[in-house]
Structure 1
């Protein structure tokens, strides 16, 4: 366990000895247990073995973040980890090689880490501590063992996957997809909207309903922050939509019976705030222009989906991995624009030049 500045500097010397792309990382966070998620444990593996870094025990992680920004590393299913690194460390590795992407490019339909470890090694990884509170200290022995198992097979598995990718001529596809995923992670960070209260499903609401939703979402966010728990532990998004719809229609709403007295009182105060709003202050609905489909759109879409599916079948790949339906619709609407959403290897396998 790396838990002091001195240990971290010694670890950095060890990490610096490793060849490029011969290290593995995994991250554990407390998003299921805290209002503001944070990285609570970093699992590291290389040719010398596995070690764990405890960022909660160290005030200065610059030795790690400097190394991270310069390194090529292996991870599995790195989308969430990338958002954690950008939020927590304001950086990403030089390159993340993702074993999940490698597995999908080889046609695996079960591409979770546990499924791959069982496929290659016949070992069943325990999922007992998957949702554990990694922010708690001390970390139990069972949790430590779980954390180590997440990375201890990865380098050897990466070698097996890469050998197969090269034998099938798909290794460059793999690198292109990994780089694209990192670009998308940076774009998502830049695209974060201040209107985070506009949750999925709110497009059905009118302006009055949106005003109710924004008011209740703000109430929930404050409750979660003061409680230091994730928002879903106060109430669900479905609850917010149900209450907002009722208020939009002029119906009364009541707090959950499980709310304690003070929370219920603050809930009713939020409802009172909504009722006191001026209609001119209601949020506007967001109107997204819908593409103008012509009479031949469905025919073109069918043709493109068939073309994609035939290419995927020849390669034994999931068709949605070759190109998701949203891109197919974009191509059927406007080929020139739609093609820009495809990676080079996707264009190649679909015969687009």
Structure 2
């Protein structure tokens, strides 16, 4: 049970003005004018319908600018947002967890030239909790309710409480940004933050997997190429139907149901329909679709490989057997990076992503020295400040590990 406290609860944040959705041409023109005439950075947020819809499109875009007030735009109501993009051009955008919203904003033609990410700023400042509600409470002393974050934002009309939530997500961001910018300057991390923000803004999306069906949750339990073919065809059928009806695939038939069928394929449509493990709201209404997929999987000559080549490294726990030299290098470098991160008061993963360190430890540059490690870090996408902070320590750890006898290293691990 939590200990009682005499500290009063922080007051609830409330919108500065009535919340209204811009969804007609006249209101849109007025909103664009207000944003253009405002001053300074623009707080930006977007709401999607993840878990409800197939696409990751934005169903509401929230903006706040000093001198402009709050603007809530329904992007589905307009053929394009070109005028809004022009009004926002050149301004710094302030977002919380920018990598989550930038893809859907770019989809409607909104692309920033520079950003300030308040979540990332909180991480760089060493905050224990970096969610927007926690950051607002710590810096502004206000309580920000977050109960509608997972709502179905494709709902029309949007309920008033949801709009209040959406407005507050941007109305407080500029004050948060100013507080963080001041603190970053005080601790000498402004340049680090600028490099991290730019890295988020310019990060390229990961290439689409060649066989996306292999990401089916639980597919690793399906044995044999024939059964994998059934899993593939069911996934493809579900994906095509989900796209057509604009629904999240898992809401039609969950992954577990597809995997259950692939593991023990039925021999008839009746048998498929009677499977208790095959459930979901479209499992019976679209039974012909699923049975056709099963039949294709059972008869196709295009059988998938049981395993696919991958450049993924083995898990570190297997390194001592697979690559003991790399294991020693990784174990030598990790504590050094932890100490550097502690000195800088930021999470170790923000100092250097674990995957970058693992790849360097697995196949280090030759010869190993600060210069070659720095070059390798840059090739892996490390920012300049990260290279400066870590290259020497990593090189030293690798050299020391390579000079340590195997039995001595095993005794100290």
Q: Secondary structure, in 3 states, of the residue corresponding to 2:215?
A: coil
The match for 2:196 is 177
Compared with structure 1, are the counterparts of its residues 172 and 204 closer, same or farther at alpha carbon in structure 2 (3 Å cutoff)? farther
Helix, strand or coil at the partner of 2:213: coil
Relative to structure 1, the CA distance from residue 238 to residue 66 in structure 2 (aligned partners, 3 Å threshold; closer, same or farther) is: farther
User: Are residue 220 (structure 1) and residue 252 (structure 2) matched?
Assistant: no
Q: Distance in 2 between matches of 1:46 and 1:204?
A: 51
* In 2, Cα distance between equivalents of 1:203 and 1:46: 49
The equivalent of 1:231 in structure 2 is 249
CA shift in 2, pair 1:47/1:90, >3 Å = closer
The partner residue of 2:214 within 198, 208, 231 is 198
User: Residues 229 and 298 of structure 2 are in contact (CA less than 8 Å); yes or no, is this contact kept in structure 1?
Assistant: no
1:46-125 paired onto structure 2 within 5 Å: 46-48=65-67, 49-68=69-88, 70-86=90-106, 88-125=107-144
Structure whose CA Rg is larger: 2
Tell me if structure 1 keeps the 8 A contact 2:45–2:62. yes
Please say if residues 252 and 283 of structure 2, whose CA atoms lie closer than 8 Å, have aligned partners that are also in contact. Answer: no
Q: Secondary structure at the match of 2:212?
A: coil
Q: Which has the higher contact order (CA 8 A, sep 6+)?
A: 1
Instruction: Give the whole-Å Cα distance in 1 for the aligned partners of 2:289 and 2:391.
Output: 60
Find the counterpart in structure 1 of residue 392 from structure 2.
Answer: 352
Q: CA offsets, 1:1-58, max 9 Å, x none?
A: 33233333333333223445x1100001123322234211111111132221122222
1:146 aligns with 2:186: no
Aligned to 1:329: 358
2:59 to 34, 40, 48: 40
- In the TM superposition, residue 113 of structure 1 has moved relative to its aligned partner by 0.3
TM-superposed CA distance for 1:229, in Å, is 1.5
Unaligned runs of 5+ in 1: none
Contact 1:39/1:55 (<8 A) preserved: yes
- Sort the Cα spacing of 1:302 and 1:162 in 2 relative to 1 into closer, same or farther, 3 A: same
Which residue among 282, 289, 293 is the counterpart of 1:270? 293
> Aligned equivalents of 2:127 and 2:225: distance in 1?
46
Shift of 1:202: 4.4
CA contact (8 A) 1:256 1:264 kept: no
* Residues 72-81 or 215-224, more deviating: 215-224
Q: Distance in 2 between matches of 1:260 and 1:316?
A: 51
Alignment: residue pair count: 343
The equivalent residue for 2:331 is 302
Q: Counterpart of 2:22 in 1: which secondary structure?
A: coil
- Does residue 345 of structure 2 align to residue 316 of structure 1? yes
Structure-2-length-normalised TM-score:
0.75
- CA RMSD, aligned part only? 2.6
- Shift in CA distance, 76/213, structure 1 to aligned 2, threshold 3 Å: same
Match 1:283 to one of 298, 304, 311? 304
- Is this contact kept in 2: 1:212–1:247, CA < 8 A? yes
Note the alpha carbon deviations across 1:82-111, whole angstroms, 9 max, x for none.
12123x225521122100110000001210
- State the SS of the aligned residue for 2:86: helix
Unaligned runs of 5+ in 2: 1-20, 314-318, 366-372, 394-413
Distance in structure 2 (CA, Å) of the matches to 1:203 and 1:63: 48
Secondary structure of the residue that 2:60 maps to in structure 1?
A: strand
3-state SS in 2 of match to 1:159: helix
Instruction: Note the C-alpha offset of 1:230.
Output: 0.5
